[in-house]
Amino acid sequence: MATTRTTFTLDRELAEQAQLLHVNVSAAARKGVAAAVKRALGEADRAAYQRVPEQPDDFWDEAEAWGEA
The answer as to whether 30 is a domain residue is yes
Does the pTM exceed 0.75? Answer: no
The answer as to whether 69 is a domain residue is no
The answer as to whether 5 is a domain residue is no
Residue range 7-64, pLDDT digits in tens: 999 999 999 999 999 999 999 999 999 999 999 999 999 999 999 988 877 777 776 6
Residue numbers of the domain that contains 38 = 22-51
The answer as to whether 58 is a domain residue is no
pLDDT at 61: 72
The answer as to whether 27 is a domain residue is yes
Residues 6+ apart with CB under 8 A from 25: 10, 15, 18
Residue 10 backbone zone (phi > 0: left; psi -120 to 50: alpha; other: beta): beta
Q: How far is CA 12 from CA 16, 48, 49, in A?
A: 6, 39, 42
Cα separation, 28 vs 31, in Å, equals: 5
How many domains is the chain built from? 1
Q: Around Cβ 25, how many Cβ atoms within 10 Å?
A: 13
pLDDT at 67: 60
